Amino acid sequence: MVAAALLASVTGAQTWPVTAHAAPAAPAAPRPGDPGARPRSLEEVRKEIDSLYREAEAATDAYNAAGERQSEQERSILKLARAVVAAQDRMAGLKNRAGALARAQYRSGGLPAEARMLFGGDPAEFLDNAALAHKGQQAARGLIADLAATQTALDGYAKAASEQWEKLADERAKKEDAKKKIEARLRSAKDLESRLAAKERDRLRQLEEERAYAAQEKWLSAGAAPKGGGGATSDQGKRAVAFATAQIGKDYVWGAVGPNTFDCSGLTLKAWAAAGRPIPRTSQEQWRQLPKVDARDMRPGDLIIYFRDASHVGMYVGGGAIVHAPRPGRQVTLAGAGSMPVLGVVRPDA
């Protein structure tokens, strides 16, 4: 069934079929934790659940971004640590040379080389030694300069490492805060859904499909669907689509990048990695960094970024459809490209 639907989508179908249902009878559902509140319609419950999952997804993007920055800080600290070790080794060698110079001067009675040569009796030897003394002075000055420069580098590394540790601690705190927000929103959404009867849960899913179908129809009727101006799909784009559609049916898990579970940007990240094109980890960074294209020029493999905060992403597969990882409790699936509010389109292989 999925393969047939995908085949239809990539061969030019201009609408994304979703089963239509009769108008809801608006069964009531009480607000959790507030037994005295006015009973709410199932549509109101759907909106609240959708809002909770949207908040969780936005927090997931923040969690993923903090994780990326944390990894960058850890790599930076490791690089600094290696530089410190190298500088310390260099400093030890320079100090050994300085010690040898000091010991040689001590053995000569502490007299400068010029004074020792002045008291020598051989003029020719004096001239020869004068050149050697000049070279020795230059070497000593160079040694002192090297010691100072190496010490300055060590001080700089220490300061940079301290700053990186502070940033790392900050990113860890942000990541933990985002994690708490995600878990809190998911608990609330799951609790709200668990209070519904089985028939109401089935009807809730129908309402989700109807809302998505209506949004898709509106998007198509507004002329936002691609007009074929984006050119032929690249080989990399084809490979990215092939990877993404091969994940259909796998569970959404926030923060996941495969191989068995994905979040929305984890799916697009891995799909384009499989095509040989690295892209940013989060949907917000994908929107910020990747080249933008007009929605009417979309081609398979392009990424559609959704919502004003760029908190969701799907991959266009053709025929007005996307493949995406929707939210917790759902699986990677095909959907209408206009079934959610579109922010814009980016092309990783532009």
Encoding tokens for residue 281? 């980890």
**Which pLDDT score is estimated for 247?**
98
Collapsed DSSP state (helix, strand, coil) of residue 324: strand
Q: Output the CA–CA distances (angstroms, integers) from residue 273 to 19, 161, 179, 206, 308, in the order listed.
A: 34, 31, 26, 35, 26
Encoding tokens for residue 100? 């040898």
CATH architecture of 2-30+208-346: Alpha-Beta Complex (3.90)
pLDDT in tens, 55-83: 999 999 999 999 988 988 888 888 888 88
pLDDT tens across the length of the chain (350 residues): 333 333 333 333 344 433 334 444 444 445 444 555 566 788 888 889 989 998 999 999 999 999 988 988 888 888 888 888 888 888 788 788 777 767 766 665 554 555 555 455 555 555 555 555 556 567 677 778 878 888 888 888 888 888 888 988 999 999 999 999 999 999 999 998 888 888 898 888 898 899 999 999 999 888 877 876 667 899 999 999 999 999 999 999 999 999 999 999 999 999 999 999 999 999 999 999 999 999 989 999 999 999 999 999 999 999 999 999 999 989 999 999 999 999 999 999 98
Cβ-contact 233, 281 below 8 angstroms: no
Give the residue numbers marked as catalytic.
264, 312, 324
To the question of pTM greater than 0.85 for the whole model, the response is no
The rounded distance, in Å, linking the Cα atoms of 261 and 244 is: 12
Other beta carbons within 10 Å of 279: 21
Q: Give the helix, strand, coil percentages of the chain, each rounded to 5.
A: 60, 10, 30
